[in-house]
Structure 1
Amino acid sequence: MSLYRWLKRQRFTYSKIGRLVYMVEDHEHNLQPKIKWLKSINVHGSDLATALTRDPIVLEKTIHSLNENVELIKAAGVRSEWIGWVIRRCSKVLACNKEELQEHINFYTRLGIKDDNFGKMVYKFPACLARFSVEEMHSKVLYLKAFGLDDLALGKVIASKPQLIACSIEEDWKPLVKLFYFLGIDGYGLRKILTIQPSVFCLNIKDNIAPKVRFLRDVGVHEELIGDVLVKFPSFLSYSLDEKIRPCVMFLLEKAAVPVDKVGKVLSIQPDLLRCSISQKLDVIVRFFIFHGFKREQVGLMVTDFPMLLKYNLSSIKPKLSFALRVMKLPVEEVVKFPRIFSHSLESRIVPRYKILRKRGLNYNLRRMLACSDDEFMRSLDENGTNDVDTELEMEISVNADLSAETNIEISEQSDLESQFTARYIDDMPDLVMSGQLDVDTSEFRWDNAPNPGAYKVLNGENAVDAGVYEVFDGENLSDEYWHCEFFTDRVRK
C-alpha cells in the first residue's frame, strides 16, 4: 500500500500505477530507483509514468545502461539542461541500445549536423533521435536530395526543421510535389522552397496549401504566376489565411486604395508584403503620404505601380520626398507618376542629376531623369545640345556648395516638420479626417467597380476547380461554400 501512495505522490494516475505494478515484480529494487533516477535528470510528474509505460523496456535496463545513453547524446551536443525535456518527449531515447543510438547520431553527423546544431535539432524535435529507423530516414534523405541538394545543404534544412523526418514520402511529399509541378514550379523552385521554408513540406495539402492557392487565384493572381509567387515568397504557405493573409489584402484594398483588379498584380510583384506588420509598417507609410498631400487613390496608384514602396523605411522616404516637393518644386502628381524615385539614391543619383539639369536649364520629368543609366542620361543631354558632357558630369557629381546648402536647409526644415508629424499623426488622424485635411475613401468595392472577371465567376458560384487541381486531389471538389457573396471585399474578409 505504501508503494501506491508513493506513486500517487509522484502524480501517477491509477491506470498508470496499475500498469507499472503489473509489469514490474521487484518494485522496491527496480521501479523506485528508476523513478528517482528519472527525476534526477528533470523528468517529473505525469511524464514519469509516460516514460516508463510508453517504452516498458526502460524498466528492464540497468541504470548504468540508461546513463550511457544520456552521456552519449550529451557528448553529441545535447545540453545537460535539455536532457529532461528530450526524455519527456521521446522516452525511446532510453529504450534503444547504445549501438542503435550511436547509429542515429552518426546519420546526422554525416549530414553535417553536429555539436550545438545537433543539440538544438534534438531539442526542437526529440523524436528525430530514436523514433524512426535509420533505413527510413535514409530513404527520406535520398528523396529530398533529388531536388539538387548536397549532404551539407540538406543537413541545414533538416536541422532547421527536423519534423521533416516524420513526414511520409508517399502520403505527404509526392502529392505536394505533384501540385507544385502543376503550378509550374520546377526543380529550382522546389529546392528554393525547401531551403527557405522547409516547414512547407510538413503542411497538409488539403487543409493548409490548397486554400491559399485558391485564395491567390481568387484575388486576381494569374494562374501561370501562382507558382512564381510561391517560389518568391515560400513563407506565404505557412501564414494563417484568416489571421495574416486576408487582413493584409483587406488593408491593400481599403486603406491603401489599391484597385480591386490590381491586387493580384501587387501580390504577384511583391508577395512578401504579406510579411509586413499592418500597424507598424504598412499603415505608417500610407498615412505618411496622406499627411503630405497625397490622396488615398494616388497612394493606391503608387503601390500598384511600385509595391516595394510599402516596404521602405520612413527614414529612406522622407528626404527623397522632401527634395522632390520642396527643392525640385514638383507637384504631387509627378511623384505619383514615378514612385520609383524612392528606389534611387538621393546622394548619388537624384541630387547630381538634378544639379546638371538645373545648370543647363533643362526640365526633365522624374522618369526621364532617373529611369536610365548614366550613359543614357549623358546621351540624352547630348541630344539637347549640351557640350563636353563627360567632363561636366564629373564636375557636377561632385557637390555644388550653393545648391547643396540650399538642399540641406530644405531637408532639415522638412525633417523637423515630419518629426512633429511622426510624433502626433496617429493620435491626431481622426481630427484631421473630421476637419477635412485628409481625404478618406470609405466606399465599398462593389462588383460594378471593375471586378476581377475570374473572381466574379467564382463568387457567383461557378466551380473554381480546374481539371488539373481536381486530378491532384483525386477528384475532390476544392470549392467552398463561402465563395458566394455580394462584395469582393466580403469574400476576402471571410
Structure 2
Amino acid sequence: MAVLRVSPAPVPAGRRQDRLSTARPPAKLQISAGAHAADPLLSLPDLPTPLKEKILCMEMMGIDSGRALSLNPALRSTPLDSLHVIISFLLTKGIHHKDLARIFGMCPAALTAEPRRDLAPVFNFLAAELAVPSAAFRRVINKCPRLLVCSVPDQLIPALVFLKRLGFKDMEGLAYHDPVLLASSVEKTLLPKLEFLEREVGEGKEMVVRCPALFTFSVENNLRPKLGYLVEEMGRDVAEVREFPQYFAFSLEKRIKPRHRAMEERGLRLSLPTMLKTTDHEFGLLLQTADSSPTVGP
C-alpha cells in the first residue's frame, strides 16, 4: 500500500543555523510504496491504525476525510478492504479514478455502500428504465453522485413514476440532464413545489415538464420571492411565468432587479424572455434605443 513520507525541504546554507535554532524546516510530501501504514506522518496518535489507513486512503484519492467521516460516521468502522471493493466495482462500471474524489466528496455515504446490494441495482435501473448504455454510466453518476445511495424500490422507482405521470417523456433528458429529480423525495421535495406553482401561478405540470429545474429551486428562497417581485414590483401578471417558467432560473439580485429598474427608468417594457435572456450587450442596445425613442414599447 502506498503511503506518504515526509522529507525536509532544502535550506540555504547561510540561513541553516538560524532556521535550526528557531523552527523546523517545512515538510515536503512524497509518495513511496511499501512503508508501514502506521507512519508518524499521520499525526493522529489517538486513532486506531485501521482508521488511520482509511484516512490516508481517502486523502490520497483527494477526498476530504474529515468531512466524509463527519457526514458518514459508519465509515469509521468500515474495513479498508470494503473501500477497495467499492472503488473496484465503480471502475468496472466505467467510472474513472479521477472521478472518485468528486463522487465521494459529494456523496460520502457511497463509501459504505455494498456493491451487490446497493450499487448494482442502481446501474440496472439506469439501463432498464432510462435506457442508459453502460458506456454512459459515468456521465449520469458524475451528474448526480447521490444516485449511488438511492434505493431503487423506495426512491428511484417512485420518483420516476411520479415524473412520468406529470408528463415527463424524455428519459434521455432525465438521465443526462436532470437525474437529481430521481434522487429527490416525492413527498418532501417534488410535490410541495408542484403544489406551490399550481396554487400561486395556476399551473404546475406543464411548467415543470418544460423547465425541470423548477423542481430544484427552493420555494422560500427562490420561487416565492421571485414571484412576489414579479407581481408586486414589476406589476406583471403570473400568466407571464406560465409562458416563461425559466424566469425562476435567473438571479433576482443580479439579473431581474437591475434590468427591471433600468427598464423602469426609461419607461421601457419588454417580454420576460427578451428582458432576461438577452446578453448584457444586447440589453444595453435595447436601453440605448429606449433612450433615443421614448415611444419604444414591448
Alpha-carbon distance, 1:237 to partner: 0.7
Alpha-carbon distance, 1:32 to partner: 4.3
Q: What corresponds to 1:171 in structure 2?
A: 188
Alpha-carbon distance, 1:251 to partner: 2.0
2:264 is equivalent to residue 253 of structure 1: yes
Out of 278, 290, 295, the residue aligned to residue 276 of structure 1 is: 278
Out of 159, 166, 172, the residue aligned to residue 147 of structure 1 is: 166
Out of 160, 177, 193, the residue aligned to residue 211 of structure 2 is: 193
Partners of 2:138 and 2:242 in 1: CA distance: 30
Q: What corresponds to 1:420 in structure 2?
A: none
Alpha-carbon distance, 1:173 to partner: 2.2
Q: CA RMSD in A?
A: 3.0
Deviations 1:110-142 (A, max 9, x none): 313445643233234322212x32222221221
Partners of 1:186 and 1:48 in 2: CA distance: 41
Structure 2 residue runs of 5 or longer lacking an equivalent are 1-36
2:91 is equivalent to residue 78 of structure 1: no
Out of 137, 148, 171, the residue aligned to residue 129 of structure 1 is: 148
Higher normalized strand content (fraction of residues): 2
Higher normalized helix content (fraction of residues): 1
1:274 alignment partner AA: L
2:224 is equivalent to residue 210 of structure 1: yes
Q: What corresponds to 1:297 in structure 2?
A: 294
Partners of 2:137 and 2:108 in 1: CA distance: 18
Partners of 1:201 and 1:60 in 2: CA distance: 35
Contact 2:155–2:183 (8 Å) recurs in 1: no
- Map 1:56-75 → 2, pairs under 5 A: 56-57=74-75, 59-63=77-81, 65-75=82-92
Partners of 2:196 and 2:160 in 1: CA distance: 21
Partners of 1:282 and 1:142 in 2: CA distance: 42
- Map 1:228-377 → 2, pairs under 5 A: 229-255=240-266, 257-258=267-268, 263=269, 266-267=270-271, 270-278=272-280, 280-287=281-288, 289=289, 295-298=292-295, 300-301=296-297, 304=298
Deviations 1:140-199 (A, max 9, x none): 22111111224xx245225323333443322332232223223232643332122xxx2x
Partners of 1:107 and 1:163 in 2: CA distance: 15
Q: 1:50 to 1:173 in 2, by over 3 A?
A: closer
SS at match of 2:167: coil
Partners of 1:170 and 1:272 in 2: CA distance: 35
Q: What corresponds to 1:120 in structure 2?
A: 139
SS at match of 1:253: helix
Q: 1:272 to 1:118 in 2, by over 3 A?
A: farther
SS at match of 2:226: helix
Q: 1:58 to 1:158 in 2, by over 3 A?
A: farther
Structure 1 residue runs of 5 or longer lacking an equivalent are 305-494
2:125 is equivalent to residue 107 of structure 1: yes
Partners of 2:230 and 2:275 in 1: CA distance: 14
SS at match of 1:146: helix
Contact 2:208–2:215 (8 Å) recurs in 1: no
Deviations 1:269-328 (A, max 9, x none): x434212233x11112443x47xxx83303x23xx2xxxxxxxxxxxxxxxxxxxxxxxx
Q: TM-score, normalised by structure 2?
A: 0.73
Partners of 1:31 and 1:62 in 2: CA distance: 8
Q: What corresponds to 2:68 in structure 1?
A: 51
Q: 1:128 to 1:214 in 2, by over 3 A?
A: same
Q: What corresponds to 1:367 in structure 2?
A: none
- Give identity over the alignment, percent: 18
1:230 alignment partner AA: V
SS at match of 1:184: coil
Structure with bigger gyration radius: 1
2:29 is equivalent to residue 6 of structure 1: no
Contact 1:77–1:114 (8 Å) recurs in 2: no
2:71 is equivalent to residue 42 of structure 1: no
Partners of 1:106 and 1:55 in 2: CA distance: 28
Partners of 2:139 and 2:176 in 1: CA distance: 8
Contact 1:55–1:92 (8 Å) recurs in 2: no
2:235 is equivalent to residue 220 of structure 1: yes
2:181 alignment partner AA: L
Contact 1:86–1:126 (8 Å) recurs in 2: yes
Alpha-carbon distance, 1:52 to partner: 4.7
Deviations 1:358-409 (A, max 9, x none): xxxxxxxxxxxxxxxxxxxxxxxxxxxxxxxxxxxxxxxxxxxxxxxxxxxx
Partners of 1:167 and 1:237 in 2: CA distance: 19
1:34 alignment partner AA: K
Q: 1:90 to 1:274 in 2, by over 3 A?
A: same
SS at match of 2:294: helix
Deviations 1:313-344 (A, max 9, x none): xxxxxxxxxxxxxxxxxxxxxxxxxxxxxxxx
- Map 1:412-491 → 2, pairs under 5 A: none
Partners of 2:273 and 2:179 in 1: CA distance: 27
